[in-house]
Amino acid sequence: MSGVRVLVGTSKGAFVLTADGHRTDWEVSGPHFGGWEIYHMNGSPADPDRLYASSSGGWFGQVMQRSDDGGKTWHSLGNGNWNAISLPFIVGPHGRIGRLNPAALPK
């Protein structure tokens, strides 16, 4: 019988729950990102060990995290590197829309 994995996001961090097919004995991994609010967690259909988590903190804002080993280790995706994400437009004062040049942003 195959195993079961439940991804849980809470206001206290992320948890990964795993069990065998009978669902009698559960193993809990976490909290990952302790103290961060986790709004969404998802597993990749292409790779069962790849997990994604959307975390948020009062200082850093929204941060996307990825694990390639089932939640043992995590790293952020494109955070702080404006050239790694696509931001073609920006809304300025009075709702004016203009082009955003990531190279012009402070480093």
What's the confidence (pLDDT) of residue 8?
A: 93
Please tell me the distance from the alpha carbon of residue 88 to that of residue 57, in angstroms, as a whole number. Answer: 25
Question: Which two three-digit tokens encode residue 74?
Answer: 């995590």
Is the residue at 105 inside a domain? no
Q: What is the domain range of residue 72?
A: 4-81
Q: Which amino acid is located at 16 in the chain?
A: V
Is the residue at 46 inside a domain? yes
Is the residue at 89 inside a domain? no
- Judge if pTM exceeds 0.85: no
Number of domains in the chain: 1
For the stretch 52-97, pLDDT in tens is: 998 887 776 788 899 999 999 998 886 554 444 444 444 445 444 5
Is the residue at 91 inside a domain? no
Helix (H), strand (E), coil (C) string for the chain? CCCEEEEEEECCEEEEEEECCCCCCEEEEEEECCCCEEEEEEECCCCCCCEEEEEEECCCEEEEEEECCCCCCCEECCCCCHHHCCCCEEECHHHCEEECCHHHCCC
Is the residue at 37 inside a domain? yes
